[in-house]
Amino acid sequence: MIFHDFGHIIWMLIFIPLVLWIYLKQHPQGHLTFSSLKQLKRLKPSVLVKAKHLLIVFRVLAICFLVLGLMRPQKGMEETKIETEGIDIVLAIDVSGSMMAEDFILNGERKNRLEAVKHVVRDFIKKRVNDRIGLVVFAGRAYMQCPLTLDYGILLKFMDKLQIGMIEDGTAVGDGLATALARVKDIQSKSKIVILLTDGVSNAGKIDPPNAAGLAKALKVKVYTIGAGSKGKVPFPAKDLFGNKVYQWGVIDLDEDSLQNIAQVTGGKYYRAKDTDSLKKIYKEIDRLEKTKIEVKSYTEYRELFTGFVLLALVLLLIEAGLRYTRFRTLP
């Protein structure tokens, strides 16, 4: 709260002592004639008699509030205006059969690679602000699952629907990247990036990864590539003769050289995610590297509060007048 015009405080210094002096020196007293005051001296003043001094308290407080009102109290309401231009991000995620490998641990349980990726990517999306984000999925072919949007709720619903087998099997890395590029090539934005995640070797599609990388470079789109999965043999879920879940172990090839080349050509970076923790760290680092720069303009508005003080003063004066001429009325 801010007060202005402190010169008005002089009125408080003048009127309060004056009112107190008048009350003490000129307060009217009633007179009755008695033959003897001996018995009356034994009587103690009642609570009502003592409470009569509240009248001067109400009057002094009323003067204080009136002076405070004259000092124009104000409350500052600071508002911030943010001007920003977001980043366009396309998430390209592999949903091929190899993503069924359960070599990731999530909340103490084995989860396949796709479920771990969905869990981590959800957190990545929730941390973004003012960025349009789209979703591309690929296996034997590539599809735009969700166009660029600021509605992260809709995007997360599309993310939840991702499952292995939704597209014919295969790993079309080049097509996945090209499909992502098709969504950002005609958009005028401050920055465009693609985060491409796969766990295999490109063996399908019409566009090979090097050509897709060259296209991304021409469009000035930075590509971050992530190779998902641990090295060596990994467990794949299966059913035994009795329908119980068992694991079969196999090796999945990952073309790290191709992913490194895509990142290098486009000015991005390649990461290897061997487990859930490393996958989280990768998306956190990308989140840190690709933060939107914002310009903040702040200004302050003020709300006048003098009416509250004036109303309090009037209420106190009314209470004082009411008590003076009713409960504390004196005989002339």
String of DSSP letters for 248-272: EEEE----HHHHHHHHHHHT--EEE
Neighbours of 116 (CB within 10 A): 23
173, 263 contact by CB (below 8 A): no
pLDDT of residue 226: 97
Same domain, 52 and 131: no
Which amino acid is it at 6?
F
CATH of the domain at 168: 3.40.50.410
With respect to residue 15, please indicate whether it lies within any of the assigned structural domains.
yes
- Name the token pair of 88: 């366009």
pLDDT of residue 33: 58
Same domain, 216 and 310: no
Domain count, the chain: 2
Q: Which of 94, 89, 84, 87 is nearest to 114 (CA)?
A: 94
Same domain, 221 and 271: yes
Same domain, 174 and 263: yes
With respect to residue 274, please indicate whether it lies within any of the assigned structural domains.
yes
pLDDT of residue 80: 55
Same domain, 65 and 208: no
CA distance 12 to 203: 88
Q: What is the CA radius of gyration of the chain?
A: 39
Same domain, 112 and 145: yes
203, 189 contact by CB (below 8 A): no
With respect to residue 1, please indicate whether it lies within any of the assigned structural domains.
no
Same domain, 92 and 24: no
With respect to residue 118, please indicate whether it lies within any of the assigned structural domains.
yes
With respect to residue 109, please indicate whether it lies within any of the assigned structural domains.
yes
pLDDT of residue 258: 96
Same domain, 59 and 162: no
With respect to residue 312, please indicate whether it lies within any of the assigned structural domains.
yes
Same domain, 162 and 201: yes
Range of the domain at 110: 83-295
pLDDT of residue 50: 59
DSSP 8-state secondary structure symbol assigned to residue 86: P
Q: What is the pLDDT of residues 82-120, one digit of tens each?
A: 555 678 999 999 999 999 999 999 988 999 999 999 999
CA distance 149 to 131: 8
Same domain, 91 and 64: no
pLDDT of residue 298: 53
CA distance 164 to 99: 7
Q: Which residues of the chain have pLDDT under 50?
A: 296
Same domain, 93 and 196: yes
Same domain, 119 and 63: no
